Structure 1
Amino acid sequence: MQTSIDYRQLVESVGDAIVASDASGAIVSWNPAAQRMFGFTEEEALGKSLDIIIPQRQQQRHWDGYHKTMETGKTRYGNDVLRVPAVHKDGHGLSIAFTVALLHTPDNKVSAIVAVIRDETARFAEERNLKKRLTELEMQLAPQGNTP
């Protein structure tokens, strides 16, 4: 017996943010986890540009890749996890990790890009602190030059 899955319920109940945008980069789907992560309600996000969550210094690079993906129907990232900075509604920075999926029309044109996003801000900060501490410890253990 096959169980049917309510995909709307799935998208609304997962812990990761799921954000979909159309060919122009306007947000067309924004789940509750996206609201918790980025601070924008669904009403505030729908129809807006992805720029609301992309730091300004990253926007040109993002849009270059986005438009190329829409034109070619291919993403160079495949199933890779991408780690990039993002921005919360209140302006504070986030470190996110995400995968992308391309949705297609019946004639095989890309109609939307879906990102499944996880907030890794705390993990990234912890990793950065561990690397800093390791560097400090290595400096303490390094042989000191013989000074007269």
Structure 2
Amino acid sequence: SSDITAALSHERALARLAALVEWSNDAIIGIDKDGNISSWNPAAERLFGYPEAEVVGHPYLLLVPPDERMILFDDLVRRARDDDYVGSLETRRRRQDGSVTEVEIKASLIRDESGEPAGVSVIMREIAERKAAEARLRELELRYRTFVEQMPGITYINAATGDAQVMPLVHLHQRMEEWLGYLISEWERDPRFSFQLMHPDDREGVRKHHDETTVSGAPYRAEYRMLAKDGRQIWVRDEAVLVRGDDGEPLYRLGFLFDITDLKRAEAEVTDALAGQLSRCW
């Protein structure tokens, strides 16, 4: 009775496993010890275009592009021999129509009753779309990095805290070290560092504008002085937007700083010159 129960339990387990293989969205392919395909699920047919009857019994090499044949059945066995499992392996495989697609492979070693390798079970997932998306992302990152490196201002990202005096740094362009003489690590260590570097006479105005734009969601635009390590005062124009999450809560501020010291100096010279002319007229 116990043997019958165990046999029935084993059959049910096999049936569940068969159903999982049948309905899996990933291609699941069995390869015997001679390197021939021994099993082929519907997802494999959808991925490669071969009906099961046309591939079972044929070499696994059928799916391997000529320039990828260094990664063959023997190599999968070698990789899996130590722990019966091969971690993710990204490579290319060939479809029935001759086209080649990029796939992620995970393989498990199948052993016979004596413990010797009897084959390999391979799970394949097409990653061509993911690879294309990653390539597009890299291109966008390169464009952004090029833009940031070449623009005259400084980019920054601060975590939004609702407090103008506490601005944890997420990103700050390296050029800031040239502007003020302080290391980026000093901003990273102290979330109050930016506020402390503002001229004392400008802090209240900055804090007020920060609070107003946090509530209203309007773009943040402010001009104020920053104190360099060598004692210089640098006028900056600070323009930022508040980025919110799906729940509407502030996440971070993305902004640009522009050095307007020369502009402020020129404005002051023009003002002084006009004031001098007016005084002479009177």
- TM-score interval for Structure 1 and Structure 2 normalised by the shorter chain: 0.7 to 0.9
* Residue type at the aligned position of 2:95: H
Counterparts of residues 90-109 of structure 1 (less than 5 Å): 90-109=97-116
Find the partner of 1:20 among 19, 27, 30. 30
* Residue type at the aligned position of 2:65: P
Q: Distance in 2 between matches of 1:84 and 1:104?
A: 25
Q: Helix, strand or coil for the counterpart of 1:60? A: coil
1:133 Cα deviation (Å)?
1.8
Q: Helix, strand or coil for the counterpart of 1:82? A: strand
1:64 Cα deviation (Å)?
5.2
Total equivalences in the alignment: 140
**Matching of residue 122 in structure 1 with residue 129 in structure 2:** yes
TM-superposition CA deviations, 1:25-77 (whole Å, max 9, x none)? 100000000000111110111111111211110103435514645xxx70578
Residues 139/85 of structure 1: CA separation in 2 closer, same or farther (3 Å cut) = same
Counterparts of residues 62-81 of structure 1 (less than 5 Å): 62-63=72-73, 65-66=75-76, 68=78, 74=81, 78-81=85-88
1:50 is matched with 60
- Stretch moving more, 89-98 or 36-45: 89-98
Q: Helix, strand or coil for the counterpart of 2:69? A: helix
Q: Helix, strand or coil for the counterpart of 2:87? A: coil
Percent identical: 23
* Residue type at the aligned position of 1:108: G
* Residue type at the aligned position of 2:41: N
Q: Contact between 2:49 and 2:96, CA under 8 Å: does it hold in 1?
A: yes
**Matching of residue 134 in structure 1 with residue 171 in structure 2:** no
Unaligned runs of 5+ in 1: none
Q: Distance in 2 between matches of 1:77 and 1:30?
A: 20
Q: Helix, strand or coil for the counterpart of 1:20? A: strand
Normalising to structure 1: TM-score of the pair?
Answer: 0.82
1:10 Cα deviation (Å)?
2.2
RMSD (Å) for aligned C-alpha atoms: 2.3
Find the partner of 1:35 among 34, 45, 56. 45
Normalising to structure 2: TM-score of the pair?
Answer: 0.45
Moved over 4 A (4+): none
Unaligned runs of 5+ in 2: 1-8, 152-282
Q: Which has the higher contact order (CA 8 A, sep 6+)?
A: 1
* Residue type at the aligned position of 1:130: L
- Structure number with greater Rg is 2
Residues 28/90 of structure 1: CA separation in 2 closer, same or farther (3 Å cut) = same
1:10 is matched with 20
